């Protein structure tokens, strides 16, 4: 006779529930950003974080694999960052004028990534991509920007297109529709976005053969992190680079997710591709609100002489630039990425073994990966339609209950930091096993 283990007690979330009810009266939806509303049965309110872990207001501990949606590559409250921010705060949090950290941070970034001969700073990835599109259109005198189904480049009207359309709206595979992400997006704001399926070089060649003289830029994540962490097929990025060169278009890499996360010099170093413009954010500052647009000097000269306007009250905020310098200093230490990659590989292998019997797969690379329920690994957004979103969200609820905090969306991403330990990996696999037992999957 088999004696089943009793199900573990569900953690108390009483204070989170009370806070959510109170916040919902004064903040729209009771959340500060849309995806947080997907945490069920209600958002979990975090009281503090340290290293690889977070604790909620009810005292429950979580090993954190959300890491602020990727930025916390050094984990929570890293001593280097705390020290750097404290030191800068004592000098002032904002000047609205030039300051020495602009030189220090700019030199660090341009030395790190050869594709970025010059840089400008902003606050968010959305903003960096908007600036890149504007710059590419100005440089080429063209309007059309190619973007790919399933890629997320921020929530601004002109680029928030075809992020997660369903089969009923996406249009035919050979000619995808441009589907707005939100109500309120006027068609005129995205009429010059041409949508393609990713990892399909033939489709890209066909579009350029027909409309090459109209295309200002190709905008792509070098790794499709926002639809399941899909790597490019061999030769795909090289093919996009060649098409842009032949037709005089600008190749833009959105490395907001991948820059200094998958490798110190980003995904472009892994695949050996040099884009014309690069957008950075998230992990570049270890968790502070800053973004970077960088590129060839010839292109950036249009920003330098104000033909392309780029400005912002909080641009080059000293606290954020101090965070960039401290983060890059820590990440540049020998062996940092080797250790993170080895732990990630061990975690991915352990997870794959545990979740395979419930119809779940694992795919990804270095310090970022995702899970899916269905046939996988997937190579395109449309293959992801076969994944069972309901099962994924049920599993996520079980993970949260077992003390593992992961992204609250069906399109899954897990991130690792320098602070995740061997003990965290072992504890995670134990908790995943418990989470599987909690579900009926």
Please confirm, yes or no, whether 405 is among the known catalytic residues. no
| pLDDT for the residue numbered 440 | 72
Q: Which residue in the list 62, 64, 147, 282 is annotated as catalytic?
A: 282
pLDDT tens digits, one per residue of 247-292: 999 999 999 999 999 999 999 999 999 999 999 999 999 999 999 9
Q: Would you identify the CATH topology of the domain 14-77+335-438?
A: 3.90.1150
Domain spanning 79-331, CATH class: alpha beta
- Please report, for the chain, the start and end positions of each structural domain, with discontinuous segments joined by +: 14-77+335-438, 79-331
Minimal CA–CA distance to 432: which of 403, 389, 394?
403
Chunked in runs of 10, what are the mean pLDDT values of the chain (441 residues)? 49 93 94 87 95 97 97 98 98 96 98 96 96 98 98 95 94 94 94 96 98 98 94 97 98 97 97 98 96 98 96 96 98 97 98 96 95 94 94 95 95 96 98 92 67
Distance of CA 87 to CAs 3, 92, 106, 125, 351, Å? 58, 9, 20, 26, 41
C-alpha span between 327 and 74 (Å, rounded):
7
Bond prior to 340 in cis (omega within 30° of 0):
no
Q: Which residue in the list 62, 65, 152, 163 is annotated as catalytic?
A: 152
| pLDDT for the residue numbered 7 | 52
C-alpha span between 219 and 33 (Å, rounded):
24
Calculate the average pLDDT of the chain. Answer: 95
Please confirm, yes or no, whether 415 is among the known catalytic residues. no
Q: Which residue in the list 56, 200, 254, 276 is annotated as catalytic?
A: 254
> Taking the CA of residue 57 as centre, how many other CA atoms within 13 Å lie in the half-sphere pointing to its CB?
12
pTM: 0.95
| pLDDT for the residue numbered 2 | 37
| pLDDT for the residue numbered 171 | 95
The pairing of beta strand 277-280 with beta strand 291-295: antiparallel
Please confirm, yes or no, whether 254 is among the known catalytic residues. yes
């Amino acid at each position: 006779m088999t004696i089943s283990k009793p199900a573990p007690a569900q953690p108390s979330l009483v204070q989170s529930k009370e806070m959510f009810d109170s916040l919902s009266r004064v903040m729209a939806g009771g959340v500060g950003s849309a995806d947080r509303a997907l945490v069920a049965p209600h958002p979990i309110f975090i009281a503090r974080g340290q290293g690889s872990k977070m604790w909620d207001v009810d005292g429950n501990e979580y090993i954190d694999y959300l890491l602020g949606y990727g930025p916390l590559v050094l984990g929570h409250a890293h001593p280097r960052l705390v020290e750097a921010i404290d030191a800068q705060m004592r000098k002032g949090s904002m000047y609205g004028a030039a300051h020495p950290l602009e030189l220090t941070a700019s030199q660090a970034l341009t030395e790190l990534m050869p594709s970025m001969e010059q840089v400008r700073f902003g606050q968010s990835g959305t903003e960096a991509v908007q600036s890149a599109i504007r710059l590419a259109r100005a440089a080429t005198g063209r309007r059309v920007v190619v973007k790919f189904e399933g890629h997320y480049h921020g929530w601004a009207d002109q680029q928030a297109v075809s992020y997660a359309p369903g089969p009923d709206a996406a249009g035919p595979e050979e000619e995808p529709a441009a589907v707005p992400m939100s109500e309120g997006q006027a068609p005129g704001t995205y009429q010059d976005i041409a949508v393609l399926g990713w990892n399909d070089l033939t489709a890209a060649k066909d579009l350029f053969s027909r409309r090459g003289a109209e295309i200002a830029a190709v905008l792509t994540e070098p790794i499709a992190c926002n639809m399941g962490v899909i790597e490019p097929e061999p030769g795909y990025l090289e093919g996009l680079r060649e098409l842009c060169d032949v037709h005089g278009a600008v190749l833009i890499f959105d490395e907001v997710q991948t820059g200094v996360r998958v490798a110190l010099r980003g995904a472009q170093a892994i695949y050996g591709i040099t884009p014309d413009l690069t957008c950075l954010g998230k992990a570049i500052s270890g968790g502070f609100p800053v973004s970077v647009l960088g590129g060839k000097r010839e292109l950036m000269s249009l920003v330098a002489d104000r033909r392309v306007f780029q400005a912002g009250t909080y641009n080059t905020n000293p606290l954020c630039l101090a965070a960039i310098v401290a983060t890059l200093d820590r990440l540049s230490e020998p062996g940092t990425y080797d250790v993170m990659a080895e732990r990630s590989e061990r975690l991915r292998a352990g997870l794959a073994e545990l979740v395979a019997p419930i119809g779940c797969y694992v795919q990804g690379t270095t310090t970022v990966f995702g899970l899916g329920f269905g046939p996988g690994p997937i190579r395109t957004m449309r293959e992801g339609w076969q994944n069972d979103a309901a099962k994924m969200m049920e599993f996520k609820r079980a993970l949260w209950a077992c003390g593992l905090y992961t992204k609250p969306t069906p399109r899954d991403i897990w991130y690792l930091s320098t602070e995740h330990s061997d003990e965290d990996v072992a504890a995670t696999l134990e908790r995943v096993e418990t989470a599987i037992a909690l579900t009926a999957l």
